[in-house]
Chain A
Amino acid sequence: HIAFRFTGTLVLAEHTGGKLNPITLNAVSAASKLGEISVLVAGTNVTKIAEQVAKVEQVKRVFIADHEKLKHQLPEHVAKTVETLQKQYKFDHVVAGASTFGRDVLPRVAAQFDASPITDIIAIHSNDTFSRPIYAGNAICKVKSNAPVKFLTFRGTAFQPAKESGGSGKIEKAPETDFSFDGVEFLSQELLKSERPDLQSAKVVVSGGRAIGSADNFKMIYELADKLKAAVGASRAAVDAGYVSNELQIGQTGKVVAPELYIAIGISGAIQHTAGMKDSKVIVAINKDPDAPIFEVIIVII
């Protein structure tokens, strides 16, 4: 193989069921501050996704990796694809959204290049200097990377999504990858289906905590959310109590949201929860306890 010196950034596109995950657009917009953008779309039958990605502003190249082994985008196989691509094109930055997918794949690839990754970036200062939250968002750490290749994940809510038009990326096939690794096999998937807007991109989020009392009472949260065209979230306590499933958990170890309006109902506001919502524009807390810590971060209170 001829190794091209290609000063640029590779963005890993994330998609499910023929749909591009919006966090990819946030990652592209973050990456546009770093250099010329190439995007990798890995999966099976991904031509449509690749065409969609090619139209995203700033995208110069789209690599398609289409292989049966990539069907469920298991990190072991996607990482191998990225590794092959990186060996050939030598990007300066390899980046993704800080989602399960990005967090799964990027460090695995970084290990092959003896590079320390930087995860969950919220600000880009230069090509090698970034800020990221630590201690559940209670401190912000500014770091400079001397890694040979910068492997980065970006927090979606910290970057505006790139426009889905205006780009004219060239679509090409990714180099052949060795998929002989057989240590892992996809079995099944159980995805939460909901008519409501996606939690991480919703403009309004209504969230319930332990004080809601039961899964039945959580219906009130859903009704309010429907009225406001909002997504529904929950605290860890509400998930642990079995009121809702864990995909709805907001916080340090759940999802991070930053909507226009966040309504926290019956949530005390533990550090781990506020880590996931304190960048919301307006926060409303509805709580019987006037001493609840959530009131330290809110605007309007009942």
Chain B
Amino acid sequence: MITERREREKEEGIERLKFNFVVSNLRCVIQEEWHQRGPVADFGLTFVTKPMRALVAVKRVIDYAIKVRVKPDKTGVVKENVQHSMNPFDEIALEEAVRLKEKQIIKEVVAVSLGPSKSQETLRTALAKGADRAIHVEVEEVMAEKIEPLLIAKILRRIAEAEKPDLIFLGKQAIDDDCGQTAQLLAGLLNWPQAMYASAVEQESDKTFIVTREVDGGRESVRIKIPAIISADLRLNEPRYATLPNIMKAKNKLLEKRKPADYGIEIVQQIQILEVTEPPKRKSGGFVEDVPSLVVKLKEMGVV
């Protein structure tokens, strides 16, 4: 009899503890919502759903305005003393995540970059533009050249498994290697839906987003269930500039440093770069004085 009573009391105690835990958690969430939205906030559904998290992958590349020069030894392009910045498509991807955070759809934005130590500058920029924290997966500069999108996708998969984001944003391509593969490879590895070349992203419900994609013939609209991968196209948004106060604040944000080995990933190359050369040069043309002589010239060439 006594043991039975004790058992019951114990169970009730556990139940009470569980209940208290849930209540206090809810209180926390409500307080936070209240704090963010003010007393008129609509608590309808939002406070019971798990706050969303976004991961954004950013790459440090040679600035888009620089005309690159091929090295005479044909091993690559000249990178020393050349202006680098965040890949323009990644800026757009990041901006979208930050905007979703401002709309309070996303709770936390985590920026990730893989590359040499200088990639930290790119991550600081991401933090200044609104990312909450950053992860830098460091590789040596000579290795960075050889990292293929597949390897990046494998590391991002490990990070996604640890961070459990609801959305992963990437640029549609890096303007240096022009591969345009990472987002699709990652989606394949995770078996998540992929909405590539996004020009609009809208939340539909707590589980679904509607993404407008730029496809060859025009536009296409798809509904994706989270977790999902979105790659940003040019016209998704107009990225903001980092303001000075935000650049200062970014210095205090958390920047975690990792190595590929921390994710159990070994750098293996499948694609070997044999040589990098200049594209064939065009013969320079000439000027013509007026329209009739242009037409005559084109007719001579047989193109009209």
| A and B held together in a complex | yes
Task: Indicate if the CB atoms of A110 and B298 lie closer than 8 Å.
Answer: no
Shortest Cβ distance from residue A233 to the other chain B in the assembled complex, whole angstroms? 13
SS class, residues of chain B in contact with chain A: mixed
Residues B196 and A104 in contact, CB atoms below 8 Å apart:
yes
Interface pair B184/A247, CB less than 8 Å apart: no
Within 8 A of A (CB), among B76-116: 77, 89
Whether the Cβ atoms of A143 and B273 lie closer than 8 Å is yes
Minimum CB distance partner of B188 in chain A: A111
Q: Taking the nearest CB of chain A, how far is it from the CB of B153, in angstroms?
A: 7
* Interface residue B284 (Cβ < 8 Å from any Cβ of A): yes
In the complex, which residues of chain B have a beta carbon less than 8 angstroms from the beta carbon of A138?
67-68, 70, 77, 279
Q: Which residue of B lies closest to A251 (CB)?
A: B234
Judge whether B218 is part of the interface by a CB distance below 8 angstroms. Answer: yes
Q: Which residues of A, 74-123, contact B by the 8 Å Cβ criterion? A: 74-76, 79, 99-101, 103-112, 114-120
Tell whether, in the assembled complex, residue B274 and residue A143 are in contact, meaning their CB atoms are under 8 Å apart: yes
Stretch of A37-45, A53-61, A179-187 that contacts chain B? A179-187
A291-302, CB under 8 A of B: which get 1 and which 0?
000011111111
- Does A135 lie at the interface of the complex (its beta carbon under 8 Å from any beta carbon of B)? yes
B223 lies within 8 A of A16 (CB): no
Q: What is the total number of residues of chain A having a CB less than 8 Å from a CB of chain B?
A: 84
A3 at the interface (CB under 8 A from B): no
B residues within 8 A CB of A182?
225
Question: Complex formed: what's the CA distance from A74 to B220 in Å?
Answer: 10
Task: Name which of A103, A260, A283, A297 has the most chain B CB atoms within 10 A of its CB.
Answer: A103
- Structural contact, B235 and A246, CB atoms closer than 8 A: yes
Contact with B along A155-188 (1 / 0, CB 8 A): 0000000000000000000000000011111111
How many A-B contacts at CB < 8 Å in the complex? Answer: 234
Give A140 to B224 CA distance when docked, in angstroms: 37
Q: Check A139 against B276 for contact (C-beta < 8 Å).
A: yes
Is the Cβ of B184 less than 8 Å from the Cβ of A103? yes
Contact B218 A120 (CB under 8 A): no
Q: Is B119 an interface residue (CB 8 A)?
A: no
Q: What residues of A have a CB within 8 angstroms of the CB of B186 in the complex?
A: 111
Question: How many angstroms from the CA of A108 to the CA of B182 in the assembled complex?
Answer: 9
B222 to chain A, nearest CB (A): 6
- If A111-B153, A133-B178 touch, whether A301 touches B288 (CB-CB below 8 Å) is yes
**B contact residues around A296 at 8 Å (CB):** 284
- Contact call B184/A75, Cβ cutoff below 8 A: yes
How long is the Cα–Cα vector from A236 to B199 in the complex, in angstroms?
15
Partner pick for A100 among B175, B181, B185, B215, CB 8 A cutoff: B215
Contacts of A247 in B (CB 8 A): 214, 216-218
Would A204 and B176 count as touching, CB distance under 8 A? Answer: no
